[in-house]
Amino acid sequence: MEKSKPYVILSAATSIDGKIATVTGDSKLSSKLDGIRLHKLRSKVDAILVGKNTVLLDDPMLTVRHTKGKNPIRIVLDSKGSISKNSKIIQTSKKIPTIVVVSNKITKSNLERLKKFPVEIIIAGKNSVDIKLLLKKLSYKKIKSVLVEGGGTTNWEFIKNGLFDELIITLSPFLIGGKDAVSLVEGDGFKKITNSPILRLKSTMRLKNHLVLNYVKV
């Protein structure tokens, strides 16, 4: 029987104070060594997923470059279908399979615009993307593992309903501060610590001054 959801790994690099970017959106926290580790992980998963703001601010490629291996399918959460034609993801989507996930809120004109790009469009959810439904749809497509690479809003959407299996955090030797700087987990947050998913520390790895923490959800 097909599983109802792929194995989901949340991945991020944080400062010691739990930020994933500065208030201006500067997010380069990983070291070269950590980048190689991340790309090895990317090469082992079926898909890699980010939210629209991360595409807007980082303009990522989401490919495997610092090691040998296959590129995962790229998935962008983009309720209104507003991803820029000039983003690296769209510019390379002819060669690297890419899925843009929109909600029913998308306008007809935005949907028509998206259809012109060489991407697959998945519609899931009323206003914003319904993550549970999306994971079900990805399972039907035989996607068995998804690496979620943020940002904070996307992380919250997976965490609030317990829709993840593993969390890999690179604790980077920086202190960023700023109440408006993006944290590892954004959204409304839990009201009580007892509402938080319970995590078991599976392993730690020191990469010079960076510390990679690998947790599994109990």
Ligand X SMILES: NC(=O)c1ccc[n+]([C@@H]2O[C@H](COP(=O)([O-])OP(=O)(O)OC[C@H]3O[C@@H](n4cnc5c(N)ncnc54)[C@H](O)[C@@H]3O)[C@@H](O)[C@H]2O)c1
Ligand Y SMILES: Nc1nc(=O)c(N)c(NC[C@H](O)[C@H](O)[C@H](O)COP(=O)(O)O)[nH]1
Which spans of this chain sit near ligand Y (rule: CB under 6 A)?
Answer: 11-13, 27-30, 38, 50, 54, 58, 60-63, 149-150, 170
Of 109, 105, 63, 111, nearest to 88 (Cα)?
Answer: 63
Q: How far is the CB of 174 from ligand X (least distance, A)?
A: 10
Of 170, 164, 132, the closest CA to residue 147 belongs to: 164
Q: Which two tokens stand for residue 143?
A: 């996607």
Contacts of 125 (CB under 8 A, 6+ apart): 79, 103, 104, 133, 134
Q: Minimum distance between the CB of residue 192 and ligand X, rounded to whole angstroms? A: 22
DSSP one-letter code for 93:
T
When CB distances are held under 5 to 8 angstroms depending on the partner's kind, the choice from ligand Y, ligand X, none that residue 79 binds is ligand X
Nearer to ligand Y by Cβ, of 86 and 194: the residue is: 86
Q: Which does 38 bind (CB under 5 to 8 A by kind): ligand Y, ligand X, none?
A: ligand Y
Where does the chain show beta strands of DSSP type E?
7-14, 47-51, 73-77, 98-102, 120-123, 145-148, 166-171, 199-207, 210-217
Q: Which stretch binds ligand X (CB under 6 A): 76-84, 91-99, 159-167, 195-203?
A: 76-84
The CA distance from 173 to 17, in Å, is 10
| Nearer CB in complex with ligand Y: 28/115 | 28
Smaller CB distance to ligand Y: residue 36 or 121?
A: 36
Contacts with ligand X, 179-218, as mask; x by CB under 6 A? ---x---x--------------------------------
Cα 201–chain centre separation: 21
34 forms part of the interface with ligand X (CB under 6 A): no
